[in-house]
Structure 1
Amino acid sequence: MLHPHVRPRRLRSTPAMRRLVAETRLHPAELILPMFIREGAGGPVPVGSMPGVVQHSLDSFRAALHEAAAAGIGGVNLFGVPEVHDAIGSGATDENGILNVATRIAREEVGDALVIQTDLCLDEFTDHGHCGVLAADGSVDNDATLVRYAEMALAQASAGAHLVAPSGMMDGQVAVIREALDENGFHDTGILAYSAKYASAFYGPFREAVDSQLKGDRRSYQQDPANRREGLREATLDLAEGADIVMVKPAMAYLDVLADVAAVSDVPVWAYQVSGEYAMVEAAAAHGWIDRDRAILETLTGIRRAGADAVLTYWAVEVATRLLGRSA
């Protein structure tokens, strides 16, 4: 009878042993909570396709910020849901626009405890739902959009954002934003670049969350899901343009791209566990088809294992609270 002398199972034998030799760990500080703030809301408004996620009123937003800080997560990533949309997304640069108001509140309430990140994109604010200014033929005008992004960066930095997060996938966006920030004295405002952002089917629930007005699709500027090398190329360009952090989005279907970027980046690499990833787990768990708690931790561990230094996830506060409970 064969008696193997190499027995990897020795290191899986007990919970204590598995914990001791674990190669990847989750920590609350590595989790970032995306938050939606709805202009004119009288209270939290549930997002139907994302059970447990809401569009916040300003009052519920304040309470949720303090809950997030108490859980010890790393930061919050803010999205505004305006009442009025127009062709150029005017609300994005209005100092009294919902996102800039929310940013000031977040900085005042928890700015010493959490990193305040702001979505720098026009899609929530435009009446056509695209991430930029449209040309006469209906396409997104890259360079005209960069002008708006620079203006938006200054508005968000003025409101108190620690990190501005350009997510529109316009060519040259990081360089233009960095130049605008530096020329106006915002040398300490960082850029979280959505570097490899794919034209994904997994964004569906998010569009409900931000009341998207999208007509058509974004395949002419977001990346083709078939392309792996292109993701690394985009991240490399953003690094050269001065990105402080680079990100891959979505996470689970693009772990190969995430690993590629993590292997070469000299700045932190993050990943966004998007709305569709969240909704799939919640829906399957609601039907009793999977163990919800284990699935949540497994997906986040997989993203970290692939190379993410931090993860944007709608489960950030819940998971942080569980982690804190385990270590108590």
Structure 2
Amino acid sequence: MAEKQPTPKELLDRIDYQPPHADWMETPVDIRKGMYCYASNPKSVATLGLPNARPWNPLDEDWKLPENWQQIIHEGFKERLERFRSVKLFMDICVRCGACADKCHYFIGTGDPKNMPVLRAELLRSVYRNDFTRLGKLLGKANGARPLTLDVLKEWWYYLFQCSECRRCSLYCPYGIDTAEITIFGRELLNLVGLNIDWIATPVSNCYMTGNHLGIQPHAFKDMLDFFVDDIEEKTGVKVAPKYMKKGADILFITPSGDVFADPGTYTAMGYMMLFHYLEEKYGLDVTWSTYASEGGNFGFFTS
């Protein structure tokens, strides 16, 4: 028998914005059912050539990490600090004012303090202080520093993927810290040891193999637009004629695949087709679709 799902009101009533009594460093990560993302499919990880492709489960004690995973993370951290001045700047200048806290829909929806953008970034900053700052090495926890342990790594994975990179927090930060960039940076480090989520790895793998995140083959993409042609003609009496992979066209149009395969995006796609028909008739503008480059959504961004 299927488990009874709570109502929206019941879910809202469960949210508690009262912070825990213990220090956040002393509050262990609790990977809760319904809150964590599924682990990445090893086939998708291997397709993309990402490291440590293997089946694993976030609820298991053993995440099947490389033996030298701490060294890999440390070296990846160091390399990015040297390459990106912005990362080091964002690690150092936050004063933890909390202006970003209530701007994050993940914090609003969970009440979990570690989903505040400032504290989500602090998960990384604490390790940065421990490994890369003199005061952190000398004073340790008194300076907000902590070593990278397995529990800390699991905490990173759990919270760094509870972010949609919307950058609303950055908009309200008085220092202009791009917390989304910090999240992306953290996900890069997790990827170095094979910690990703299936919502990202498999769509990116599909893009790599078929040109869109749904894994739709070229002929199916064309068939869908052909259905739209019939629908448009039925409603308007106008027969549009989309072009596919036409050499020498004025515009190569690429849209998120959701516009082609999911309502209400399909209505948007039909709007595109009518617009292109008008532009060709009125101005001679030639627009072509691609059945191979058929994804305008940047799923790689979420993997970084």
* TM-score, with length taken from structure 2: 0.27
Q: Which has the higher helix share?
A: 2
Structure with the greater alpha carbon radius of gyration: 2
